[in-house]
């Protein structure tokens, strides 16, 4: 039996700035401050548990009081370094804010700061969980914290900075330590395993890293527990069995069934995990994290590869193609709401199953944006089956040479969308361009006419047609800038003008909205009747089995 056994969290605690995992933004700043002799008198380290707040504070203390210091890399061999590492230094006092939170303790501290350090260059006070100090204790500390003796340094650490008085925060240099990415935690666990001659499976290391939720100390404690249970060989099944985690493949499979709309298969996975005694609340958390990884992958692929590793990120790419960004956000919100309900529900399985079915139903429903895009496709790709209004004759052939896209076009034409148009005999002049566009819009796509009429024709600059909108017509501008509507208008402008033109819209404060009497003559006599007679609207009503109802 080993009497002096040390747990991994203590044995592998970082002893210099370079060995701190995942906090390079903090260590680099502190090293630069030491090199440039720009040391503050008070520091505040903020972050969740187990990310290195107290360890960083001790390293900073060693860097300041090392016999060679202040130095970026403390030697770790002198008496000062060894005493600080063991927590027995007379010049580095570690105080627990939770148990020394009264005014009397702070007054005693104020009395002691006047005395010079016993051996080192500085007298350093490390106060952990400083937010636990009472308001009276904080106020008693204010004057000393603002103007301490030159030989005194304060280092505070807290997990809840919002509970620290603003007057204290303003007197400290604040450093926010981040949760450590799972890939870095897994790599550090493999380092410990090599040092301890332990065989640690890569999947097992990643499972522990994900379960630690960004806390390296938690991960090291979990590895210590695994070694006690498994010996010198650890595989993923051991991690799942001891801590009740769900295998990454299982979470990925559940997500795949949901994205594919396979209700029975998704519910079967939930039932299987429930029967196996898995914590369904934890499974829900893992599912949300998996969806979050898909979200980051779609938004910033490089960031997710850096966080999870290239292999895991590669396995997510196939699922990322099954769902849009908007749908993904909606699913995360739904499952997060279900997770909060499950915390207090006696039947967690019921809430999980309802959430899965609701998610699949959500994916099967068409959004307003998708309906609008479908209508645009009907006008474009499916226009061959829809005769234009007024019985105008269709152009049987496309132009011999399609117009080249203009470099000033802000939004490219939608792929696969072609506007059926009747080419005029001769190009119109600039003055007659906009009235001709309004007339064509009224005939071909009357439901966007009000948006177009909200704009004011400002002229043609180069290959761009300038349209101004009053500040109150921002919604009309946004609607016209949808890809389908913009492509339609740009094709219409090019057709009527006889040369390639793009549309450029802007909000103008000097423009006013036309009154109803000014626009009355330009509108159809009965807009509702015009919508009913539009072939695109009729086709949409057939597809969605709808009807137009008067208000």
Please write the tens of the pLDDT for every residue from 473-514.
877 788 788 877 888 888 888 888 888 888 888 888 777 655
The region of weakest confidence among 46-60, 110-124, 165-179, 390-404 is 390-404
Q: Does domain 8-176 have CATH number 3.30.230.70?
A: no
Name 502's bridge partners. Answer: 464
Residue 543 is encoded by which pair of tokens? 């597809």
Q: Note the CATH architecture for domain 248-364.
A: Up-down Bundle (1.20)
Residue spans of the domains in the chain: they are: 8-176, 182-243, 248-364, 375-388+419-544
Average confidence score pLDDT of the chain: 79
The region of weakest confidence among 78-87, 136-145, 254-263, 399-408 is 399-408
- Tell me, yes or no, if the two domains 8-176 and 248-364 fold the same way: no
Rounded CA-CA distance 519/287 in Å is 54
182-243, CATH topology level: Helicase, Ruva Protein; domain 3 (1.10.8)
The region of weakest confidence among 81-95, 171-185, 441-455 is 441-455
Give Cα 178 distance to the centre of its chain.
15
Indicate whether 517 pLDDT > 90.
Answer: no
Rounded CA-CA distance 334/490 in Å is 40
pLDDT digits (tens, 9 = 90+) for 221-261: 999 999 998 888 999 888 888 887 777 788 888 998 998 88
Residue 356 is encoded by which pair of tokens? 């899965």
Q: What are the phi and psi torsion angles at 88 (to 5°)? A: -120, 15
Confidence class for position 105, pLDDT limits 50, 70, 90: confident
In this prediction, residues 312-335 reach a mean pLDDT of 83
pTM for the whole thing? Answer: 0.59
pLDDT digits (tens, 9 = 90+) for 181-234: 888 999 999 999 999 999 999 889 988 988 888 899 999 999 999 999 888 899
Of 270, 252, 419, 246, the closest CA to residue 322 belongs to 252
User: Which position has the higher pLDDT, 523 or 283?
Assistant: 283
User: Which position has the higher pLDDT, 188 or 326?
Assistant: 188
| Sheet with 152-158, side-by-side order of all strands | 92-96, 123-128, 152-158, 42-46, 173-176
Superfamily of domain 375-388+419-544: DnaA, N-terminal domain (3.30.300.180)
Q: Give the pLDDT of residue 533.
A: 58
Confidence class for position 441, pLDDT limits 50, 70, 90: confident
Q: How far is CA 537 from CA 92, 231, 282, 529, in A?
A: 78, 70, 48, 11
User: Which position has the higher pLDDT, 257 or 528?
Assistant: 257
Indicate whether 425 pLDDT > 80.
Answer: no
Q: Are 66 and 80 in contact (CB under 8 A)?
A: yes
């Amino acid at each position: 039996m080993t009497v002096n056994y040390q747990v991994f969290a203590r044995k592998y605690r970082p002893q210099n700035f370079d060995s701190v995992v995942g906090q390079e933004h903090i260590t680099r700043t502190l090293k630069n401050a030491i090199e440039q002799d720009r040391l503050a008198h008070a520091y505040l380290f903020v972050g969740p548990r187990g990310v290195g707040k107290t360890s960083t504070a001790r390293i900073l203390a060693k860097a300041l009081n090392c016999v060679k210091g202040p130095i970026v890399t403390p030697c770790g061999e002198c008496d000062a370094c060894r005493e600080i590492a063991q927590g027995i230094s007379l010049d580095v006092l570690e105080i627990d804010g939770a148990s020394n939170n009264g005014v009397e303790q702070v007054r005693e501290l104020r009395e002691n700061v006047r005395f010079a350090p016993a051996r080192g260059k500085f007298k350093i006070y490390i106060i952990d969980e400083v937010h636990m100090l009472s308001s009276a204790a904080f106020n008693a500390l204010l004057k000393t914290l603002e103007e301490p003796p030159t030989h005194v340094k304060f280092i505070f650490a807290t997990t809840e900075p919002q509970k620290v008085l603003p007057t204290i925060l303003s007197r400290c240099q604040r450093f926010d330590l981040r949760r450590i990415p799972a890939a870095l935690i897994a790599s550090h666990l493999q380092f410990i395993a090599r040092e301890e001659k332990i065989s640690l499976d890569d999947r097992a290391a990643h499972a522990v890293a994900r379960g630690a939720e960004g806390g390296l100390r938690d991960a090291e404690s979990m590895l210590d527990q695994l070694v006690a249970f498994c010996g010198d060989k650890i595989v993923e099944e051991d991690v799942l069995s001891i801590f009740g985690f769900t295998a990454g493949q299982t979470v990925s499979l559940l997500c795949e069934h949901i994205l594919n709309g396979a209700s029975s298969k998704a519910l079967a996975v939930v039932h299987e995990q429930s029967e196996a005694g898995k914590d369904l609340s934890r499974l829900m958390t893992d599912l949300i994290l998996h969806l979050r990884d898909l979200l980051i992958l779609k938004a910033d692929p490089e960031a997710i590869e850096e966080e999870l590793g290239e292999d895991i990120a590669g396995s997510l790419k196939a699922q990322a193609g099954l769902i849009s960004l908007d749908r993904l956000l909606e699913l995360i919100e739904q499952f997060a709401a279900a997770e909060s309900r499950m915390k207090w529900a006696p039947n967690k399985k019921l809430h999980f199953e309802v959430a899965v079915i609701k998610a699949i139903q959500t994916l099967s429903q068409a959004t307003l944006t998708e309906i609008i895009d479908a209508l645009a496709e009907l006008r474009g790709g499916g226009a061959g089956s829809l005769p234009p209004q007024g019985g105008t004759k269709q152009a049987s052939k496309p132009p011999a040479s399609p117009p080249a896209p203009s470099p000033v076009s802000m939004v490219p034409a939608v792929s696969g969308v072609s506007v059926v148009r009747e080419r005029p005999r001769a190009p119109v002049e600039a003055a007659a361009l906009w009235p001709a566009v309004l007339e064509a819009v009224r005939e071909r796509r009357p439901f966007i006419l009000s948006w177009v009429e909200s704009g004011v024709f400002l002229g043609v600059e180069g290959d761009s047609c300038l349209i101004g909108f009053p500040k109150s017509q921002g919604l009309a501008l946004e609607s016209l800038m949808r890809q389908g509507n913009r492509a339609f208008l740009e094709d219409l402008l090019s057709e009527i003008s006889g040369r390639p033109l793009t549309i450029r819209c802007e909000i103008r404060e000097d423009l006013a909205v036309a009154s109803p009497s000014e626009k009355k003559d330009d509108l159809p006599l009965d807009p509702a009747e015009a919508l009913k007679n539009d072939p695109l609207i009729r086709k949409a009503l057939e597809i969605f089995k709808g009807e137009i109802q008067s208000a």
